[in-house]
Structure 1
Amino acid sequence: MKITIPHIHKIEGEAGFWAKVTKTGKIEELKFQTLLGLRQIEGILIGRRYFEVPIVVSRICGICPVPHILGACTAIENALNVKVSEQTILLRKLLLAANIIHSHTLHLFFLSLPDFFNIENDLELLKKFKKESKAALRIRTLALEIIKIVGGRAVHPITPIIGGFTKIPEKEKLKEILEKIPKTIEDANLLLETFKKIEYPEFERETLFASVFNGKNYPYYLEKIIKIGEEK
C-alpha cells in the first residue's frame, strides 16, 4: 500500500510525503519531498551591482528576510574590507533578535504546538489556548514592530545596507519598544510554562549538529561555525 500526503501543512515552505506500507503495517520506504521550484536567486544577481545584492536576497524568505539581507551586507563588507560602527553592529543584532523572536514564536506556537494536541487548524488552537494565543500574537507583533522601526518595514527590511543603515531609528520609537518589554517577558514565560507541560516522546538518533559559537554569550552575529563537541 502506498500512502501519499501531497501537501504537509503547518510547516514553513511546501512539501509532500509518501510511504510504502506492507499489509502488516511495516514501512518499507518513505520520502519527504520539497515541492518548491528552482528559485535561481544566484542567477538573478548575475550582472547586478554589488550594492543591489542585499535587497534582492532578502526576498529569499518572507519569514526570515533579516539574516538574508544582513548576511549579504556582511559578506560584501568582508570582501571589500569595510568596517562598520559599533552602533551599526548593535542595530543589526537588534534586528536579528527581533527576527528570531518573530520566527520562533510562529514556529513553536502556531506550527509545532497543535500537533501535540491533535489540533487541525488555527481556529481550534485559538479556542483551546485562548490566553496563550493572545500572548503569542503580542510577542510576534512587538518583534515585527522592532523590525519595522529598525529595518524600515516589517517584511523585507530596506534600511540595512553595506556599511550601515540608510536611516537610524528614532530614540523615542526605541523607548516605546523598551516600555513594552516587561509585558513581552511575561507573555514569553506564559508560553514557556505551556511547553513545559507537554509530554515529549522519547526520540534519539545520531546527528551531526552545527552551531555558531563565540565562547562568551549567546551568539548569532558574525560568529564561528562549529560542530557540537568542538566548543573548546
Structure 2
Amino acid sequence: MLSLISPAKSQDFSQNAPTELTSNVLFAGQIKQLVAKLKHYTPDGFERLMKISPKLAEGVFDMYINFDGNHYGKDNAKQALFAFTGDVYRGLDALTLSPAQINYAQEHLLMISGLYGLIRPLDLIQAYRLEMGTKFYIDDVLLYDFWRERLTQKLNDIIKENNHQAIVNLASNEYSKAIDKKMIKATWLEVDFKEFHKGKYQTIALFAKRARGRMVRYIIDHNINDIEALKGFDYDGYVFNPEFSRDKSFCFTRVKP
C-alpha cells in the first residue's frame, strides 16, 4: 500500500535531518527544465505569478537564483520528509520516527510536487516554492499537463516494482489532480476527515491537513498494508464513519476540539 500527500510551502533547512540516508530525485531532467525558466523571473514576476507579497517574492527569487540542479548535498539540500514543516508534516511528526520507520516510509510514502513531480521521503530537495495550481507554463502547457502523464507512469512503475495493491490518497485535490487516477493500476482510495461543529459534520481545512499527517503516521506506526485495516485509525479522537464512507472513499469523524 502506498500513501500520497501534498508538499508544504513552509520548509526548514536550518537543522540536519536525523538520518544520513538519502535518495536522488526521480525527475532530475524535468526539474532542471522548470528551474531554468524560473531563474528568469524577477521578484515582481514571482509576485504576479504566485500572487504573493513582495517580501515573499524576494524570498522565492533568492531560492531560484541559488538553486543548483546539478548538485544536491548537505550544503544546499535536505531529505524531503524533514524539510517540509506544514500542518500535514506536523501531524506526521517525522522527527520522532525510528530508523526502521523512516525506511518503511521511504517504501510506502510519496509527496506530489509542482517542481519535483514525485518525491520520496529521503529524496534530497532544495528550497523552492511552486504550487501545482500555479498558472505557470512550460513547453506551452500548464504544470498539470506537464506532469500528468509523467507522474501517472512513474506511479504505475513504483506500484509494479513494489507490488502495491492500493493507493491511499491523502493529498489535496490541487495536487492529486496531477495524476490520471483512471490509469492507475491499483485500488485508489480517497480519505476525508470531518468535524462535528455547529450541529453538522463538515470538513475544516486546518484540521483535515493535520489529520492527513496523523493517518500517515498511523500507517507507519502499524505497518498498515491493507485498506480495511485503515478503518482502525483512531488518532486524535477520529473514528471511521460508515455513514459518510463508500467502497473507495473512507471518512473519519470526531467532535471539533
TM-score by length of 1: 0.27
Higher strand share: 2
Pick the structure with more helix per residue. 1
Higher relative contact order (CA 8 A, sep 6+): 2
Q: TM-score, normalised by structure 2?
A: 0.25
Larger Rg belongs to: 1
